[in-house]
């Protein structure tokens, strides 16, 4: 393609509303433009990158035995009522009426549609297993879209759904997708890590997220130095401590102290001259509307997701003042387990504590020397807190590290959540009706491209890994008015095109510096500079964007040389699992 013909608006200025580097560069490099909050247009260069991601996904999905379908984006609300997610998905669902006042929604995901499709046409174990996928535009009315393609409302997604006759089959499908995902992201040139994750509102038994390592990522992860344990921060386990034998003699007498207007951990510490580790924090949660107290050591944080999963409830949030008062008889800031009027759970961090401080369930009073067993009781001890720096790996006891990542893929083992609710049944070998076992597997397309930019850039712009590059080569004739230069550039252009290489010929009548800057900004992996001086000795210059290494190459060898460079880059990225 001739640059002068391309719709490729590049910009020097950093757009004011772009916070992270990938967002800034994708706009500056003319890949995307925002239409409105969380909704973007892909320009020609951006769309070529998207199509490259999609191509890699298609190849690996097909190789893994999945078949491509294309499901509707507009879905009748009844399907969502049937699965029970119409309520639960809440405001993320964009609902609207047609002319007959029939309610529809824009598909934020397609479990319902695919389950409906399969239940109608799959009747016997002979038709299973089945894995169907699509690449579709999804719409989720995000509370807060942000960071360009990172969190959009409208976004491209590959979603796959597997249907199996039994657990063993479902495991196999899951493992196959897991392996395919590793291949996909490796081929995209990303540094990533699969981590254990919470399955959230989609439900299911367990799941893994594929996180691309990047400081701008919205997810925090924990991983072990020694073994391959890695988990999303919200999922990361804390090993249960050993239960110490506490003898009653060490208990000091319970004491009530006047603590006027002393509420927070810091205030209690400075007022009583103690450390947070001597306090037991009592948080009151509303779990599906019921008050639940959670005890935790004063210096640590409750992980609400762990509490939610432990209780098996669908909604959890910190209680409001009203509920706190009903449970404790006191305003916020003075809760404690002694004589509290609700269920009490405790994090492991509290298990071996004695003579601790808590709120007194009475305004302006705290209790000293509280002891579980003597003064209050706990329904059970469990892992309910957020993992922290000093913790060790729950699997092997090794040291753990923290990192941030961008969630580009998520695989879920759904079990029968949807197949049961929507009656996706089949007849087994013995003629008995059984429920299909499902899995679902998503990849954010635009987010994958953005993650790549986040990982591969420098101060001059994007550095596309070869497999995602919108064009693999850019030819830069230094002076288009010099006939010999243009003729040579044209010649190389023809040779490379003949080898099926995607190449831009920068035929603009611009100064060399401008063209170099644009080539760097848009991140084309290989640049061939054609200048008068080198041409005089029959040479052109090959420059590698990533390394900035520049070498001279004879005119008649340049096509073969560049072809080889591209092949090596692609091969290096495509090691399979």
Partner RNA sequence: CGGGGCGUAGCGCAGCCUGGUAGCGCGCUUGCUUUGGGAGCAAGAUGUCGCAGGUUCAAAUCCUGCCGCCCCGACCA
Binding site for RNA (CB under 7 A): 10-17, 19, 28, 34, 36-38, 92, 109, 138, 140, 142-147, 151-152, 155, 157, 199-202, 218, 304, 317, 407, 410, 412, 442, 444, 447, 460, 478-479, 481, 511-514, 516-521, 529-534, 541, 543, 550
N-terminal to C-terminal alpha carbon distance within the chain: 35
Q: How far is the CB of 417 from RNA (least distance, A)?
A: 12
Q: How far is the CB of 49 from RNA (least distance, A)?
A: 18
Q: How far is the CB of 113 from RNA (least distance, A)?
A: 16
Cis peptide preceding 129, ω within 30 of 0: yes
Give the dihedral sign, CA 340/244/354/270: negative
Q: Which is nearer to RNA, 3 or 381 (CB)?
A: 3
Q: Which is nearer to RNA, 197 or 354 (CB)?
A: 197
Q: Which is nearer to RNA, 109 or 495 (CB)?
A: 109
Can you give the length of the chain in residues? 577
For the record, the structure tokens of 105 come out as 């929604």
Q: Which is nearer to RNA, 358 or 476 (CB)?
A: 476
Q: Which is nearer to RNA, 191 or 511 (CB)?
A: 511
Contact 135, 167 (CB under 8 A): no
For the record, the structure tokens of 133 come out as 């996928």
Q: How far is the CB of 229 from RNA (least distance, A)?
A: 21
Question: In angstroms, what CA-CA distances link 456 with 82, 213, 451, 522?
Answer: 44, 11, 8, 12
3-state secondary structure of 172: helix
Q: How far is the CB of 432 from RNA (least distance, A)?
A: 32
Q: Which is nearer to RNA, 125 or 441 (CB)?
A: 441
Q: Which residues contact 369 (CB under 8 A, 6 or more apart)?
A: 251, 252, 253, 254, 255, 355, 356
Of 435, 409, 413, which is closest to residue 118 (Cα–Cα)?
Answer: 435
Of 318, 325, 373, which is closest to residue 350 (Cα–Cα)?
Answer: 373
Q: Which is nearer to RNA, 150 or 180 (CB)?
A: 150
CA 293 distance to own-chain centroid: 31
- CA 402 – CA 464 distance, rounded (Å): 27
Q: How far is the CB of 549 from RNA (least distance, A)?
A: 11
For the record, the structure tokens of 339 come out as 């004589």
Give the H/E segment covering residue 551.
strand 550-554
Q: Which is nearer to RNA, 208 or 366 (CB)?
A: 208
Q: How far is the CB of 529 from RNA (least distance, A)?
A: 4
Contact 515, 499 (CB under 8 A): no
Q: Which is nearer to RNA, 180 or 443 (CB)?
A: 443
Q: Which is nearer to RNA, 359 or 461 (CB)?
A: 461
Q: How far is the CB of 412 from RNA (least distance, A)?
A: 7
Q: How far is the CB of 317 from RNA (least distance, A)?
A: 6
Q: How far is the CB of 441 from RNA (least distance, A)?
A: 10
DSSP sequence for 238-294:
-PPPPPP---GGGPPPPEEEE-TT--SHHHHHHHHT--GGGBEEEEEEEETTEEEEE
Q: Which residues pair with 407 in a beta bridge?
A: 211
Q: Which is nearer to RNA, 392 or 512 (CB)?
A: 512
- CA 247 – CA 430 distance, rounded (Å): 60
Q: How far is the CB of 222 from RNA (least distance, A)?
A: 16
């Amino acid at each position: 393609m001739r640059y002068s013909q391309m719709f490729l608006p590049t910009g020097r200025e950093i757009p004011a509303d772009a916070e992270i580097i990938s967002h800034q560069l994708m706009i500056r490099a003319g890949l995307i433009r925002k239409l409105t909050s969380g909704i973007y247009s892909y320009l020609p260069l951006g769309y070529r990158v998207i199509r490259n991601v999609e191509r890699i996904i298609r190849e690996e999905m097909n190789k893994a035995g999945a078949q491509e379908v294309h499901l509707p984006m507009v879905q009748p609300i009844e399907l969502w009522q049937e699965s029970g997610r119409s309520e639960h998905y809440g405001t993320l669902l964009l609902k609207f009426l047609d002319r007959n006042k029939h309610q529809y929604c824009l598909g934020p995901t397609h479990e319902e549609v695919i389950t409906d499709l399969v239940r109608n046409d799959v009747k016997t174990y002979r038709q299973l297993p089945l894995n169907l996928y699509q690449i579709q535009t999804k719409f989720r009315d995000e509370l807060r879209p942000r960071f360009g393609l990172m969190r959009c409302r409208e976004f491209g997604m590959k979603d796959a759904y597997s249907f199996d006759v039994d657990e063993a089959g479902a495991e196999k499908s899951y493992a196959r997708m897991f392996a395919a995902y590793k291949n996909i992201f490796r081929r995209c040139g990303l540094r990533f890590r699969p981590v254990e994750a919470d399955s959230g509102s989609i439900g299911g038994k367990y799941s893994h997220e594929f996180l691309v390592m990047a400081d701008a990522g919205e997810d925090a992860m924990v991983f072990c130095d020694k073994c391959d344990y890695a988990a999303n921060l919200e999922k990361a386990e804390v090993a249960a401590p050993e239960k110490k034998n506490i003898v009653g003699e060490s208990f000091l007498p319970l004491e009530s102290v006047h603590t006027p207007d002393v509420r927070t951990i810091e205030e209690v510490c400075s007022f009583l001259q103690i450390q947070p580790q001597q306090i037991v924090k009592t948080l009151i949660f509303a779990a599906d509307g019921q008050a639940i107290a959670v005890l935790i050591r004063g210096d640590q944080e409750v992980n609400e997701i762990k509490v939610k999963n432990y209780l098996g409830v669908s909604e959890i949030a910190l209680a409001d003042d009203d509920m706190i008062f009903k449970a404790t008889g006191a305003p916020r800031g003075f809760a404690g387990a002694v004589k509290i009027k609700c269920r009490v759970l405790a994090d492991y961090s509290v298990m071996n504590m004695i003579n601790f401080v808590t709120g007194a369930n009475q305004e302006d009073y705290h209790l000293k020397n509280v002891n579980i067993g003597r003064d209050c009781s706990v329904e059970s001890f469990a892992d309910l807190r957020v993992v922290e720096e000093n913790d060790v790996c729950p699997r092997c006891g090794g040291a753990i590290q923290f990192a941030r990542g961008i969630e580009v893929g998520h695989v879920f083992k759904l079990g029968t959540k949807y197949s049961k609710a929507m009656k996706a049944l089949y007849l087994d070998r013995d003629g008995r009706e059984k429920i299909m076992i499902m899995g679902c597997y998503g990849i954010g397309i635009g987010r994958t491209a953005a993650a790549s930019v986040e990982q591969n850039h420098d101060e001059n712009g994007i550095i596309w890994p070869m497999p995602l590059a919108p064009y693999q080569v850019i030819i830069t004739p230094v002076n288009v008015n010099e006939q010999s230069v243009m003729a040579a550039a044209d010649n190389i252009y023809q040779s490379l095109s003949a080898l099926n290489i995607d190449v831009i010929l920068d035929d603009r009548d611009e100064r060399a510096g401008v063209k170099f800057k644009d080539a760097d900004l848009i991140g084309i992996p290989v640049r061939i500079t054609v200048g008068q001086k080198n041409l005089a000795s029959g040479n052109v210059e090959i420059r590698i964007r990533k390394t900035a290494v520049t070498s001279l190459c004879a005119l008649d060898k340049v096509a073969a040389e560049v072809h080889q460079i591209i092949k090596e880059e692609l091969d290096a990225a495509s090691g399979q699992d």
